[in-house]
Amino acid sequence: MVNFGHTAAETFPLFDRLHLCLIKPSKYDDDGYVIRYWKGVLPSNTLACLYGLSEDVKNRGVLGNNLKWRIDAIDETVQRVDVEGIARLNRRKGTKTIVCLVGVQTNQFPRAADLALEFRRQGLDVLIGGFHVSGVISTLPEMPADLRALQEAGVTLVAGEIENRWEMILKDALNNSLMPLYNFLQESPDISRAPMPRIPKNLLNRYAVKHFATLDCGRGCPFQCTFCTVINVQGRQMRYRCVDSIAERIRENYRQHNVSYYFFTDDNFCRNKNWEPILDMLIRLREEESIPVSFMIQVDTQSHRIPGFIEKAARAGCSQVFIGMESINEENLKAAGKKQNRVTDFKNLVNAYHEAAISTHLAYIIGFPFDSEESVQRDIQNLQQLGADQVSFFMLTPLPGSMDYLQFLSKATLMDADLNNFDTFHETFRHQRMKPRVWTRCYEKAWKDFYSVENMKRILKNAKPQKYWDLFLNFIWYKNAIQVEEGHPMLHGFVRLKGRRERRRIYSLESRWVYFKRRVRDIWRTLIGWSKLALEMEEVWLQTRHRSSLEERVVLELEQYQKRIREWRKLRLPELRTLYRQAALALEKSSHRHFSSPLRIPSYFQLWLQKWNVFSDSLTFTRFPMRWYWRSVLRQLKQGHFHRIRLFKTAFTGFREFVLFARFLRALLKRVDYSVPNLE
């Protein structure tokens, strides 16, 4: 391994202040506005790596002890990039500002390029690194025109990983001698002793889960999937971080920021040679040092065959595995070079993790060569039968750096010229078996079907009790992204923010009035979306929450009646009430001896009290009767039959809705069940 690092401290007479601005760019939405949220969902590990590396250079003092540092980490998906403000800081005498656009993926490249040019216009040094630049340079014989244009504008491109090289680049910047390209792809650095990723506290607060951080324990992957960029960018040779350094960072994060939940971003954690020492270390942290660490990892479909892997992962605090299943069609898997995936194994794989109380989250790609509208629908049905807890769907995208991209180029297959669409939820080429828009329709339907009320109920009912709320909250996150934000859960957060001027240059700047109308429409649509989502999730909770033994018995009785009634969902309120009464009477008869209160109140009366007590959610297993009532009120209103609306009943139902929803919210926020006390 070549160490490019310079170790002797140098002085830079021109500058006594260094402002390092690390920016993870976002992308543009379909209207050209930058995607930004009040609360994000996934922190960027590359940003954390760069922050850790920069702090290390600063702490070692190799750029001179008199140099005053300021390091800002900005994730544009949750923070506005103030180009003017950053440029203003640079105007202070003796200040050097270096803007680093980090971890830029292909779909973020158009935004990164626009930001880079804006910063260049302000006279700042700009570097762009990440999977796009690395992927393009690793696969193409020549520099493409868009990257060349950036270089001509004075932007520096960085390909490959910068561990052991960051100090050298910063020195070049302070000497005003940055090169147009730093290409480290030929030699991946040894990361065993590299500085650990670190995310500043102020950035952590911008995500929905504050005690959550990312960390890469290793890089690279030995497999050769044709759609994947990891192998060309990080290599097939696995490299690892030192276990002690990982332990130290976890301890520090817990002590300083109360961070205890991790996403270990290794593309394939189970192929990390050190998986066992890492899991042993995590077990020690949990059991001997009382650090309640838990984590999610990415694994391959053969991981359940590794002796002891699942057991140790569960004991070490693994709560979820993200599995690259990609397809359940053998022909597709073969075409994608995913030889390690065997469809016949999938059920065993999911079951093995479930037995250890680890949730399974599958990655599934739609748009492989053998997919068609019918086959995708069939596959999604079969996918639900596997019993996985979550699935993330993606559209096949020929990302620069992947073998698919090279193949598309060699066959001169037409690809979308707009890199902003290479986000795995846009069609980027003409599929052989699915017409334009049909492919997107299949993709959208896959999300809708998997996250339908019925399937969520099935998953939650089968989940281990300790997993219930984790899954429930994940469903809210996913449904919010799919239904309300109409985007991908891995990108879209909570409460969309926009800036009138934060628009792609190929779109015109809207007038204040036009923009105001757009925002009113946006906010209205979001409010309606949230209301629907809240009621949908309340229904899921009502039907799946933990029940007291009394409730369980009533449900059993109701189910007996239900079997005899085919169209249960079409029952009207009086009919439902009769059913409840019948169930209660049957219950009274069948369990008379065991079902008496100390006050000797007849059991039917107790059930009746429970049912109509607005302060109790017991014996309410669905919102359906209330929904039906509101619909009838709406109908009467539309027909002008105001006299038919019963005021007391309307007020009572409204109050009951309110109480029920408040209980749902309380249960959700406190992650507890509000079951009625047992009456026996």
Closest approach of Cβ 234 to ligand SF4, in Å?
9
Residue identified by tokens 């019918």 is: 374
Judged by beta carbon, residue 169 or residue 336, the one nearer ligand SF4 is 336
Judged by beta carbon, residue 131 or residue 182, the one nearer ligand SF4 is 131
- The total number of residues shown for the chain amounts to 680
Closest approach of Cβ 109 to ligand SF4, in Å?
20
Residue 428 near residue 416 (C-beta atoms within 8 A): yes
Task: Give whole-number Cα distances, 360 to 300, 343, 380, 468, in Å.
Answer: 12, 16, 16, 13
Cβ contacts of residue 452 below 8 Å, gap of 6+? Answer: none
- Please give the Cα distance from 473 to 208 (Å, whole number): 11
Record the tokens describing residue 179, joined without a space: 């090169």
Judged by beta carbon, residue 231 or residue 380, the one nearer ligand SF4 is 231
Closest approach of Cβ 412 to ligand SF4, in Å?
25
Neighbouring C-beta atoms of residue 453, cutoff 10 Å? 12
Judged by beta carbon, residue 225 or residue 291, the one nearer ligand SF4 is 225
Closest approach of Cβ 235 to ligand SF4, in Å?
11
For binding to ligand SF4 (CB under 6 A), which residues are involved? 221, 223, 225, 228, 230-231, 267-268, 300, 324
Enumerate the H helices of 429-511 as residue ranges. 438-450, 453-462, 468-479
Which sign, positive or negative, has the C-alpha torsion 272, 276, 279, 284?
A: negative
Judged by beta carbon, residue 136 or residue 155, the one nearer ligand SF4 is 136
Closest approach of Cβ 136 to ligand SF4, in Å?
18
DSSP H or E run through 411: none
Closest approach of Cβ 300 to ligand SF4, in Å?
5
Closest approach of Cβ 228 to ligand SF4, in Å?
3
- Please give the Cα distance from 487 to 146 (Å, whole number): 27
Closest residue by Cα to residue 75 from 135, 31, 33, 27? 27
Residue 127 near residue 155 (C-beta atoms within 8 A): yes
Residue 426 near residue 251 (C-beta atoms within 8 A): no
Judged by beta carbon, residue 341 or residue 544, the one nearer ligand SF4 is 341
Judged by beta carbon, residue 97 or residue 268, the one nearer ligand SF4 is 268
Residue 434 near residue 442 (C-beta atoms within 8 A): yes
Judged by beta carbon, residue 41 or residue 231, the one nearer ligand SF4 is 231
Closest approach of Cβ 301 to ligand SF4, in Å?
9
Residue 242 near residue 277 (C-beta atoms within 8 A): no
Closest approach of Cβ 394 to ligand SF4, in Å?
11
Closest approach of Cβ 423 to ligand SF4, in Å?
17
Judged by beta carbon, residue 75 or residue 423, the one nearer ligand SF4 is 423
Closest approach of Cβ 382 to ligand SF4, in Å?
21
Report the alpha-carbon angle 437-441-444, nearest 5. 135
Judged by beta carbon, residue 99 or residue 349, the one nearer ligand SF4 is 349
Judged by beta carbon, residue 301 or residue 543, the one nearer ligand SF4 is 301
Closest approach of Cβ 383 to ligand SF4, in Å?
18
Judged by beta carbon, residue 51 or residue 223, the one nearer ligand SF4 is 223
Partners of 126 in beta bridges: 99
- Please give the Cα distance from 331 to 39 (Å, whole number): 40
User: Judging by beta carbons within 10 Å of its beta carbon (0-12, 13-18, 19+), is residue 320 exposed, middle or buried?
Assistant: buried
Residue 72 near residue 200 (C-beta atoms within 8 A): no
Record the tokens describing residue 579, joined without a space: 């059913």
- Please give the Cα distance from 379 to 359 (Å, whole number): 21
Judged by beta carbon, residue 87 or residue 363, the one nearer ligand SF4 is 363
- Please give the Cα distance from 442 to 420 (Å, whole number): 21
Record the tokens describing residue 199, joined without a space: 């995310």
Closest approach of Cβ 597 to ligand SF4, in Å?
59
Closest approach of Cβ 1 to ligand SF4, in Å?
23
Partners of 323 in beta bridges: 299, 362
Judged by beta carbon, residue 404 or residue 485, the one nearer ligand SF4 is 404
Closest approach of Cβ 614 to ligand SF4, in Å?
52
Residue 395 near residue 426 (C-beta atoms within 8 A): yes
Closest approach of Cβ 142 to ligand SF4, in Å?
26
Record the tokens describing residue 40, joined without a space: 């994000």
DSSP calls for 296-317: EEEE-TTGGGSTTHHHHHHHHT
Judged by beta carbon, residue 110 or residue 324, the one nearer ligand SF4 is 324
267-305: b or e for each residue (b if 16 or more CB lie within 10 Å)? bbbbbbebbebbbebbbebbeeeebebbbbbbbbbebbe
- Please give the Cα distance from 102 to 99 (Å, whole number): 9
Residue identified by tokens 């979308």 is: 416
Q: By three-state DSSP, how is residue 174 classified?
A: helix
Closest residue by Cα to residue 471 from 363, 547, 358, 551? 358
Judged by beta carbon, residue 267 or residue 557, the one nearer ligand SF4 is 267
